[in-house]
Amino acid sequence: MRNNGDNRFRLIKIFEGWKEHTSIRLIMYGLLGLFMYLLLIGQVIPKTYKLTEGQVSPVTLTSPITVVDEWQTNRLKDDAVKSVSDVYTTDYTIVNDQLLQLEKFFDVIINIIGQEELTPEDKFNQLKEAKALAFLTNDSIKLISNLDEDKVKNLKYITTSTLDIVMNNGVRLSDLNTVYLKVEELIQSNPFDNEESTRNLAYEITKYFIKPNVFYNSDQTFLLRQEARNSVEPVMIKKDELIVKEGQFIDKHTYEKLKAAGLLKDSSTVFPHFGLVLLVSLILLILYFSIERMKPILHQDNKSLLMVFTIIIFTFISISIIGLFEESVLSSSYGFLAPVAFGVMLITLFISVKFAILSGLIFSIYASLVFSTDQTMIFDFRYGFVLLIGSTAGAFAVGNIRQRSSIFKSGLIVALFNVLSILVLIMLSAQSYTFREGIDSLVAGLIGGIFSAILTIGTMPFFETVFGILSPIKLVELSNPNHPLLRKLLIETPGTYHHSIIVGNLAESAAEAIGANGLLARVGAYYHDLGKTKRPTFFIENQLNSMENPHDKISPSLSKNIILAHPSDGVKMLKEHKIPVPIQDIAIQHHGTTLLKYFYHKAVKESEQIISEDEYRYPYPKPQTKEAAIVGIADSVEAAVRSISNPTNEIIEDTVRKIIKAKLDDGQLNECDLTLKELEIISVSMLETLKGIFHSRIEYPEDKEYQDKGAETS
């Protein structure tokens, strides 16, 4: 029988090996990353087509994103630049300089003309020799020499005023001929002298002193044109905007719009791929480091890790489905329907609140990417904000519930926080929401919370069944005394039932003391001896004081077979009633390969042949989890302490420590990862619990002393 047990144990170990294999964990992380990449690639990089300018489009194409129409925007910017004229700057210092030069010119003339002793010929000669008059012809100089001083002053006035007017209006080099015409017009209109020759002289002098004082300002022109370019609002290609119809000619503008929308094969780039790979890698790193800190819930437990990854994938898929629905109805409000709280509440129920909140952050980032419709804003964190607040509320709401009906109440809490978060968005950005959009968003948030609760309730049995991982709710349901198997245990084996309740209390407190699953240990203890209901009277706790022990009438070999069969008999019943695998594991593993010492020694004494210990050992796997090992220890401790007629604190402590040491020496605790420190904590915890249970039966040293004294004096 021992060999058969070994073979079964090896098969279990081979089958269970994947649950702790590091390579399997890495493959799971890789597959999750690949799945996320494939889900998001369509969101980041749209489907592309081989199209060219001048071609007739074989398909109707709309923009998958909101993006800037660079081609049309640049055309408008170029038009804006062209509309800005060249900027010219007037230099008024040149006006003053020229007026000053004209003043000096007439000072020379007046100085010579004012000399009355000079003859007209002398005046002519001196004027001709003056450098200031070198630009004048001899006829003009001769005309000046014949003028009296008053006429010279009149000539000075008309030329100065004309020069001042013209140059203050600005003179460009390219406009000199026009300016000269203006000078001639001003002089002709001035009645200072009716002589044509004098007017011509005024024109000649004024024309000479005119210089360009308006110059092209390249810096100012560039600045104004840049302002004009920057003032042009970008032309947007809206998401789902029609770009080209099937059979339509693809002109330059259409081709550029297709290129901007990323619909052309030759317009694709590797950067979005790298960016998406980096995003997925960051999410996986966050998951990895958080999971590594969650010993022993997820660390090196590939089955639990697979369940968590499955929940994550389910949540991602549900978000993506809502995203597709949002695109089809062209409404941004439907993003608030995303059941992020579904995944968060499931992870809370199966793993922990802390890890669930972290998962909610990842789900919210994913949703912000899926529901973003603007290429200029890859993540739309409006959705992430609302979904993160709602899912976090859901995590705390289901953190301590013990009934499935309470999940729906948690969904209402999620819905409430969704609505409040959406109201915050609406009030902070009122101009971004119409009244209809606001109402739609609030309704979507409300439905999203309730929908998350429905999904959680509906999928919990699937995860419990497929992965054999129990939620606190399921464990509380299994601990109900009205459960058919527990009622069977109570009615048919009341002694075993009472024993199982005490074992459950011992196991729960000890498991919680070392950070294991106390609720699982307690419920597993309730069912661990269910197999005794098949032959109840063969177990001592079910034998009344007046009852004869049936083992006294049968051989040790037959007794051994009956006792050794109770774990497997119990597992059969558990399977028939579809009790989860972790409970079955505790039932089959709690004795491990322990030796039935009493019947073994009895067989050795009665038999003349050599009896092997292996024949009298339980042929089952040794405890594989801390909870199974604790139930096994509690089972032995309770039975041993119950058999003590006069228990004291010292006797109970000695018994507990001896049982734990015996199991250690026998190798029964070699495969459950219990440390010596944890075993010490377990022994202390069980001792404290037993003190409370057997308080009325314990004889304290002081009591015994008083009893002895009473006997001596009685």
**Amino acid found at 181:** L
Threshold 0.75, pTM exceeds: no
Q: Is the pLDDT of residue 388 over 80?
A: yes
- pLDDT band of residue 706 (cuts 50, 70, 90) is very low
Beta pairing, strands 236-237 & 67-68: antiparallel
Model confidence over 624-654: pLDDT tens digits?
999 999 999 999 999 999 888 888 888 999 9
Nearest to 344, CA basis, from 382, 297, 399, 270: 399
Average pLDDT over residues 247-265: 82
Separation of alpha carbons 50 and 385, rounded Å: 39
Separation of alpha carbons 452 and 470, rounded Å: 20
pLDDT in the model for residue 269: 62
pLDDT in the model for residue 435: 78
Yes or no: say if 90 and 170 are a contact pair by the CB < 8 Å rule. yes
E strands, 465-540, are none
Coil, strand, or helix at residue 246?
A: coil
pLDDT in the model for residue 8: 44
- pLDDT band of residue 370 (cuts 50, 70, 90) is confident
Place of tokens 């003349």: 608
pLDDT in the model for residue 323: 81
Q: Is the pLDDT of residue 558 over 60?
A: yes
Which of 93-107, 237-251, 473-487 has the least mean pLDDT? 237-251
The torsion angles phi and psi of 210, rounded to 5 degrees, stand at: -75, 130
Separation of alpha carbons 439 and 418, rounded Å: 13
Average pLDDT over residues 398-407: 84
Nearest to 97, CA basis, from 212, 201, 175: 212
pLDDT in the model for residue 472: 87
Separation of alpha carbons 273 and 270, rounded Å: 5
Separation of alpha carbons 569 and 625, rounded Å: 21
- pLDDT band of residue 2 (cuts 50, 70, 90) is very low
Yes or no: say if 46 and 64 are a contact pair by the CB < 8 Å rule. yes
Q: Is the pLDDT of residue 298 over 80?
A: no
How far is Cα of residue 693 from the mean position of the Cα atoms in its chain?
A: 50
Exposure string of 566-601, with b = 16+ CB inside 10 Å and e = fewer, is bbebbbbbbeeeebbbbbbbbbbbbbbbbbbeebbe
Q: Is the pLDDT of residue 468 over 70?
A: yes
CB count in 10 Å sphere of residue 114:
12
Q: Is the pLDDT of residue 470 over 80?
A: yes
Yes or no: say if 559 and 531 are a contact pair by the CB < 8 Å rule. no
Most confident of 6-15, 325-334, 384-393: 384-393
Q: Round the CA-based radius of gyration of the chain to a whole number and report it.
A: 50
Nearest to 122, CA basis, from 136, 142, 104: 142
Give me 251's structure tokens: 């002109």
pLDDT in the model for residue 10: 47
Give me 538's structure tokens: 């063969």
Class of domain 483-712: mainly alpha
pLDDT in the model for residue 373: 64
Model confidence over 596-614: pLDDT tens digits?
988 888 888 887 788 888 8
Yes or no: say if 646 and 699 are a contact pair by the CB < 8 Å rule. yes
pLDDT in the model for residue 296: 54
**Amino acid found at 703:** D
The residue with greater pLDDT, 65 or 248, is: 248
Yes or no: say if 393 and 414 are a contact pair by the CB < 8 Å rule. yes
Q: Is the pLDDT of residue 248 over 80?
A: yes
Model confidence over 150-173: pLDDT tens digits?
888 889 999 999 999 999 999 999
Beta pairing, strands 242-244 & 214-216: unpaired
CB count in 10 Å sphere of residue 187:
23
pLDDT in the model for residue 704: 36
pLDDT in the model for residue 694: 66
How far the first Cα of the chain sits from its last, in Å, is: 60
Average pLDDT over residues 314-333: 75
Give me 298's structure tokens: 């997820």
Q: Is the pLDDT of residue 330 over 50?
A: no
Q: What is the DSSP string of 531-559?
A: GGGSSGGGSGGG--TTSPPGGGGS-HHHH
The residue with greater pLDDT, 426 or 623, is: 623
The torsion angles phi and psi of 264, rounded to 5 degrees, stand at: -100, 140
Model confidence over 424-459: pLDDT tens digits?
988 887 666 777 888 888 999 999 999 999 999 999
The residue with greater pLDDT, 70 or 417, is: 417
Q: What is the mean pLDDT of the chain?
A: 85
- pLDDT band of residue 5 (cuts 50, 70, 90) is very low
Separation of alpha carbons 161 and 44, rounded Å: 73
The single-letter DSSP state of residue 647 is -
Average pLDDT over residues 245-254: 86
pLDDT in the model for residue 262: 73
Q: Is the pLDDT of residue 417 over 90?
A: yes
The DSSP element (H or E) to which 391 belongs, if any, is: helix 381-398
Q: Is the pLDDT of residue 293 over 80?
A: no
**Amino acid found at 137:** T
**Amino acid found at 524:** G
Average pLDDT over residues 206-218: 92
Yes or no: say if 508 and 519 are a contact pair by the CB < 8 Å rule. yes
Bridge partners of 216, per DSSP, are 88
pLDDT in the model for residue 97: 94
Separation of alpha carbons 410 and 460, rounded Å: 15
pLDDT in the model for residue 668: 94
Yes or no: say if 208 and 180 are a contact pair by the CB < 8 Å rule. no
Q: Is the pLDDT of residue 465 over 90?
A: no
Separation of alpha carbons 26 and 374, rounded Å: 35
Q: Provide the H-helix boundaries in 210-301.
A: 218-230, 252-260, 271-292
Yes or no: say if 319 and 367 are a contact pair by the CB < 8 Å rule. yes
CB count in 10 Å sphere of residue 395:
26
pLDDT in the model for residue 12: 45
Domain range summary for the chain, segments of one domain joined by +: 2-43+269-469, 46-69+235-267, 88-216, 483-712
Average pLDDT over residues 525-550: 87
- pLDDT band of residue 149 (cuts 50, 70, 90) is confident
- pLDDT band of residue 488 (cuts 50, 70, 90) is very high
Cis, peptide link before residue 494, omega less than 30° from 0: no
Q: Is the pLDDT of residue 299 over 90?
A: no
